[in-house]
Amino acid sequence: MKHFLSLADVSTDQIWHLLKLARELKAEWLRGGNRPLLAGKSLGMLFQKPSLRTRASFEMGMVQLGGHAMYLSPSEVGVGSRESVADVARVLSRYVDGIMARVFEHRHVEELAHHSRVPVINGLSDHSHPCQGLTDLFTIWEKKETLSGLRLAYVGDGNNVATALAFGCAKVGMDFVCAAPAGSQLPDGTVGRAREFASVSGSKIELTDDSYAAARGAHILYTDVWTSMGQEEETGVRLRVFPPYQLNARLMAAARPDVLVMHCLPAHRGQEITDEVADGPHSIVFDQAENRLHAQKAILATLLGQ
């Protein structure tokens, strides 16, 4: 595994390697701290979009593994505008041992990887959020002690998080259903690839516009914001279209009694999820947020520790 750009590019064996390493690193940290696996190593963090969890978890992940992280803001670099993506990759990869990029266009992380001398990690792109997807698999495995045979129902916008979940679930044998309104469902290409992976693992990938049908029998209910960064001009329309996909107590009642509630944060409370559900006994939202740290440490240790 040279880069970490999409869960579609990571084999099932590699996913399980990362999940097991994340579990090991988390247990080690809880016992008193991690070994300096990345002593002397550095990570350059390129941001086009701001994020609490991405910056804090990658930066502290490097610190906990004995390395160093360098934050580069949009105004400092101007990836693809002030300076070409290729030139940024050629220069930055001569200074650091790895690059994490949080971008708008997925082609930018692909171009960074193509021109970089060092591993590139997709911290988020408009196409996929593989770090979140891996974290979610880790969190579910931690809570349910299995992944195969579970049903994850995602309700809301078929966005980059839904893409990562579709790929990840398909690879490890989890059933995945996405409930979204017309025009906001997962792209055909994404669904096709996910179904190819599912045909190997024995899982199912389903699409529906009925949130209650999706929730029926679900082990996990998952949602995300209705309007992502870069879609602000669509906010008014989305606020009218998406209310039937709110994760609330009524929707939870359609799922299994032991259902887990997940959200990758930040949450627009009162829109895609209610306070009652986000803060309720079935919610593992903040466990997810914590596990970004440990799942990403597994990625960092695997890629930068080579």
Active site residue ranges: 102, 129, 132, 224, 264, 292
User: How far apart are alpha carbons 180 and 244 in whole angstroms?
Assistant: 9
How far is it, in rounded angstroms, from Cα 15 to Cα 12?
5
Residue with tokens 């516009």: 209
Largest Cα–Cα distance in the chain?
Answer: 54
Nearest 5°: phi and psi at 304? -90, -15
CA distances to 152, 263, 305 from 62, in Å: 31, 25, 11
**DSSP label of 254:** T
Contact 33, 306 (CB under 8 A): no
Distance, in Å, from the CA atom of 284 to the CA atom of 256, rounded to the nearest integer, reads 15
Q: Tell which residue, 252, 51, 298, has the closest CA to residue 160.
A: 51
CA 105 to chain centroid, in Å, comes to 16
In whole angstroms, what is the distance from residue 170 CA to residue 205 CA?
7
Q: Residues 248-275, buried b or exposed e (16+ Cβ, 10 A)?
A: beebbebbbeebbbbbbbebeeebbbbe
Distance from C-alpha of 44 to C-alpha of 71, rounded to nearest angstrom: 6
Alpha helices for 173-248 (secondary structure H): 188-201, 211-215, 235-241
